[in-house]
Amino acid sequence: MLPEPAGCAKPAVGRGLGGWSLLIALALSFSASATPLPATGTVEVLFTPWDDAEGAIVRALGEAKKSIHVQAYLLTSRSIARALQDAQARGVAVEILADREMLEKSDKSLLPMLAGGGIPVWIETRYAAAHNKVLLVDVGQADAFVITGSYNFSWSAQARNAENLLILRGNPALVRRYLENWQRHRGEAEKMSGAQ
């Protein structure tokens, strides 16, 4: 029998190698589904506080013609919130997923204002942290793109933090993968109370 790794508790599923085999098989089955995607398109990379990531997001949201799907850990940036409202006013379908804990903790969250203005907002309650920071623009269109990175949609992310932001264009397979993940999270989320 192999010794237990230092600092690891015995798995709750079975004893000896059988339990470890099950855990290893589960881990491999999860990692096996992460199929590499082809590297296509362009990548714009920004680093705060030096680069204007917030301005890049606002400009990118201004390009939206059909849809914007948001996954936000925190949304307190007035400029980004205004860009989402402007997109909605142009007829763009805007939908937001957000982290419950950050909504409850932050008195500066702009999610209630956006929901009150008719933008559908769903709250993720299943996870300790719904830590995604993703914007999907014009999913299903030829010019769809993904914005992601460590950058929270906040003033601090631009002015006080060291963050990164990627704008990934010209990769439909990547957009589809992000949309599938967004939809899976949306299926588990709860409609924000007070939202229209």
Catalytic residues: 131, 133, 138
Secondary structure (DSSP) of 81-142? HHHHHHHHHTT-EEEEEEEHHHHHH-TT--HHHHHHTT--EEEE-SSS-----EEEESTTST
Which residues are registered as beta bridge partners of 153?
A: 75
Return the structure tokens found at 1: 């029998």
Q: What letter represents residue 162's amino acid?
A: A
pLDDT at 160: 92
CA angle 147, 121, 173 (to 5 degrees): 35
pTM of the model: 0.79
pLDDT for res 72: 87
Considering all CA atoms of the chain, what is the largest pairwise distance in Å, rounded to the nearest integer? Answer: 66
H-helix or E-strand spanning residue 172: helix 172-188
> Distance from first CA to last CA of the chain, Å, rounded?
60
The pLDDT tens digits along the chain (196 residues) read: 444 444 444 434 344 455 555 555 555 555 556 788 888 899 999 999 999 999 999 999 999 999 999 998 888 899 999 999 999 999 999 999 988 776 677 678 888 899 999 999 998 877 667 678 899 999 999 999 999 999 989 888 999 999 999 999 999 999 999 999 999 988 887 888 755 4
Could you give the domains of the chain?
42-191 (3.30.870.10)
Q: Are 50 and 165 in contact (CB under 8 A)?
A: no
The pLDDT of residue 77: 93
Q: What DSSP state is assigned to residue 35? A: P
Q: In whole angstroms, what separates CA 26 from the centre of its chain?
A: 25
In 3D, which of 95, 39, 25, 90 has the Cα closest to residue 63?
Answer: 90
